[in-house]
Structure 1
């Protein structure tokens, strides 16, 4: 049974990515600008609230969208504002957007999976060195730019993520600290802050996992939310002088009942399927564009936007030529509580999840930016 996540009607309104003004892409450049990294801009206006700070920790809580925040009352004491993710609103896209400080169209990580030029499908989560990360994602990270300017950078995340394609694409330049448990993550982040001025990035993924497996607001998700509150409390209590903690997320989530899961596999004319259930990339056989797009529009009706690649481009930000082919010839953007499964192209486990994300609804696209500052005393 799908647990109720009690989302209001506003959670299903469409939200455009706020590239250049208030998206994930502006967080790290704004932090870097406050700490004196050349050629970076404090677009988010952090300087006033971070006056006197010379070290900043940014903690990303996977899956903690703005519409999930009311279910984490332990975070109420932090100053809060709302940003958007990039598009699609999914983990690999958001992590690289955060780390590079540019929209997805520029860095090229454009979905959970993408079709490579040779026809293979790249899963950005299960990715090592094929293709080489710096070739697939060549945009320098904010961490590289900061280190080149003499600002120390550290990343604190699970040990098994060291050296993966996604880690290299998003955070290269930052020294790696492996941490599995909550206590280890808090110790790693606080230890790096106490070591001296600089930027510290931390990642916590358990809330997202609980949502996918059991649903937002399920008992397992609620237990994971209490752990997030505990981690943030440890960090706030342990902040050394002249430091700040920023807490954000890569996306929100929404629960999808079994009755609204449509499968694109039977559409004729498909050459490959990539993306993810809330944003599908259909790569079509030569001459099949119109037929595939019409079949997808008929299947989904008003429950999705069915767009050509050209029609979809603007939500990615400016798209570099090298990245155009990573977007499907037809793009399905699901609305409401609907997903586009692709049972013939991906593992059955994808269709057994409870909560999903990736699309343009406010529940998925809006993320918080929370802050706590400890001054010089």
Structure 2
């Protein structure tokens, strides 16, 4: 188990450190980033530290730059929605409240599409109310840009976690490169294809390795063209592992008893119980999953720092029982979550492969 290094070397410290390196007042440079006149944070979805090292031949530039460097950790769960919220707010999941891929708010909200029961929930669960803390982009006294796919423009997650920046839609790798190099202030740039290919074919597959090579060439080209004093930081929201075996909640009756609602994703489940059933549910899940997952009660997970400091309004969003997978297993829902249950590559748990991600910086000139 790798617990998040909140306050020291986690995703929560990334954006504040970059803003501080630019001299923007009000932020701490915890990560010791080199001074820069402008900075761009490139988030490569799914680029785990262990995956990068294991496939160094497919990413010679990035892997070469990673030699002698130290990774940072994702928060918990190690999943996109949670990590993006930490990039945007500088807060832990226990503070910003985006505590998973899906969570009780109080209806089960799927945070990436911002949907409840398959229906757009932006009016029902207003993003600015679900995550009311000021974002770093609202606080920063500098020009900020969000360079991401058009699909993310105005999305619930963008509104909740990244509001305050000027959204610049990205349509291709060349477009992403141009927008990064045109940045004069702070830029948050996102590339999601490595994660997509990993979900479909698995990390380490031929398709995934070719995509990693494309990302490597992208970064090398950007670094070569960086204006003097401009900084590029490359990191990720999580790593990824293969899912070679599953336990199906929708067919495993022992897991269903006393359960009111189940959130999260295959590698990190929030289990919301009926009143008075938490202890029985905890024992049942521990009995079924045994050494295949870390299964703990809400208070233990909070006390051990999985979610960092937890605000009062966030506490009800955390499951009464938390199941974080080990090995290559996942707790799926083949009837309720058909799409996610079919993934080959997955993430969300506390294993090193999911939690450790690169943090590499480059300054032009």
TM-score strictly above 0.5: yes
1: CA distance, partners of 2:90 / 2:349: 21
Q: How does 1:270-285 map to 2 (within 5 A)?
A: 270-285=259-274
Which sits farther off after the overlay, 296-305 or 284-293? 284-293
Match of 1:264 among 249, 252, 262: 249
Match of 2:149 among 132, 141, 158: 158
In the TM superposition, residue 112 of structure 1 has moved relative to its aligned partner by: 0.2
Equivalent-residue separation in structure 1 for 2:15 and 2:361 (angstroms): 14
Once residues 30 and 271 of structure 1 are traced to their aligned partners in structure 2, the CA distance between those partners, rounded to angstroms, is 41
1:339-358 correspondence runs (5 A): 339-344=330-335, 346-358=336-348
Equivalent position of 1:239 in the other structure: 226
1:170 to 140, 158, 161: 161
Contact 2:225–2:364 under 8 Å retained in 1: no
Preserved contact between residue 243 and residue 344 of structure 2 (Cα < 8 Å) = yes
- Alpha-carbon distance in 2 for matches of 1:319, 1:262: 30
What's the CA shift for 1:166? 0.6
Give the superposition deviation at 1:287.
2.3
Tell me the distance in 1 between the aligned counterparts of 2:43 and 2:328.
25
1:30 matched residue in structure 2: 17
Q: Alignment length, in residue pairs?
A: 346
Compute the RMSD of aligned alpha carbons. 1.3
- 1:3 is aligned to none
Cα distance in 1 for partners of 2:129, 2:246 equals 35
- Cα deviation code 1:179-229 (max 9, x no counterpart): 1210011111112x2xx3x11110000001111100011111112111211
User: What's the offset of the Cα at 1:125?
Assistant: 0.7
Task: For structure 1, list consecutive stretches of 5 or more residues without a partner in the other structure.
Answer: 1-13
1:111 and 2:100 matched: yes
**Helix, strand or coil at the partner of 1:225:** helix
What is aligned with 2:27? 40
The 8 Å contact of residues 113 and 274 in structure 1, kept in 2 or not, is answered as yes
Distance in 1, matches of 2:81 and 2:112, equals: 7
1:229 to 216, 231, 255: 216
How far apart, CA to CA, are the structure 2 residues paired with 1:160 and 1:343? Answer: 26
Is the CA contact 2:47–2:238 (under 8 Å) kept in the aligned structure 1? yes
- Alignment partners' CA distance in 2, 1:76 and 1:349: 32
Aligned-pair CA distance for 1:264:
2.5
Contact 2:201-2:344 within 8 A present in 1 as well = yes
1:72-221 correspondence to structure 2 within 5 Å: 72-78=59-65, 80-117=69-106, 120-127=107-114, 129=122, 130-146=124-140, 149=141, 151-191=142-182, 193=183, 196=184, 198-221=185-208
1:335 equivalent in alignment to 2:326: yes
> 2:118: which partner in 1?
none
d(CA) in 2 for partners of 1:202 and 1:213? 23
Please state how far the C-alpha of 1:39 moved relative to its aligned partner: 2.1
- Aligned-pair CA distance for 1:77: 4.3
Map of 2:360 onto structure 1: 370
Displacement of 1:372: 1.2
Aligned runs of 1:61-76 on 2, under 5 Å?
61-70=44-53, 71=55, 72-76=59-63
| Secondary structure in structure 1 of the residue aligned to 2:291 | helix
SS at match of 1:126: coil
Deviation of 1:350 after TM superposition, in Å, equals 1.5
Alpha-carbon contact 1:78-1:372 (below 8 Å) kept? no
Structure 2 match to 1:298: 287
Structure 2, gaps ≥5 residues long: 115-120
2:117 aligned partner:
none
- The answer to whether the 8 Å contact 1:156/1:203 transfers is yes
Q: TM-score, normalised by structure 1?
A: 0.89
TM-score, scaled relative to structure 2: 0.92
Kept in 2, the 8 Å contact 1:273–1:342? The answer is no
Partner of 1:57: 40
Give SS of 1:64's match.
Answer: coil
3-state SS of the aligned residue for 2:270? strand
